[in-house]
Amino acid sequence: MNKLILASSSAYRRALLDKLQLPYECISPDIDESPQPGEGAEDLVRRLALEKARAIARTTPNALIIGSDQVAVLEGDIIGKPLTRDKARAQLLRASGRSVRFVTGLCLLNSNSQHSQIDAIDFHVHFRALSEQQIERYLDREEPYQCAGSFKAEGLGIALFERLEGDDPNSLIGLPLIRLVRMLENAGIQVL
């Protein structure tokens, strides 16, 4: 079996991949994640997932490399990681009472053959109507500044939602495991 590598520095993605109980390594890719002019959410996350995997493949033979990237889409606009409290507040105020679509790109790349499997998985989050006080209290407690959409669904962020809609709740956190299991099986790795 080829070694399995997660092309990510995300602790959230590592925790998700741990669920599959497969041995793997993490290597952080160094790529420019800027969107290209006119690039839609699906094309962006597919491209970035593939670029992350390719960045690791250049120096890592005999590996299956998992690349993943995620964006949130609100009213047609791609919103990323807020990085600051002010931007997180603005994102949550805008999302209040609305639905946000999360698009997660997933790539499994064989570094020897350069064969890749790529997909984009949708997940929808329907936010409750939130008061400014609720948003401020949430930001005080969780500081989700490195998370697309300004929340941590695996934590207190769940209290912000009316409902969740999608095939794989793991995709909301950043790694669609249901699709990844199928990709791994296609590459000859049986998870079970």
Residues serving a catalytic function are 69
Q: Can you tell me the distance from the alpha carbon of 91 to that of 133, in angstroms, rounded to the nearest whole number?
A: 15
Q: Can you tell me the distance from the alpha carbon of 70 to that of 19, in angstroms, rounded to the nearest whole number?
A: 20
| Nearest to 64, CA basis, from 6, 22, 9 | 6
With both helix axes pointing from N to C terminus, report the angle between 132-142 and 85-95 in degrees, rounded to the nearest 10: 130
CA distances (Å), 138 to each of 8, 10, 133, 146, 148, in order? 27, 22, 8, 15, 15
Which residue type sits at 91? Answer: Q
Q: What is the DSSP letter of 135?
A: H
> What is the dihedral sign for C-alpha 63, 25, 29, 143?
positive
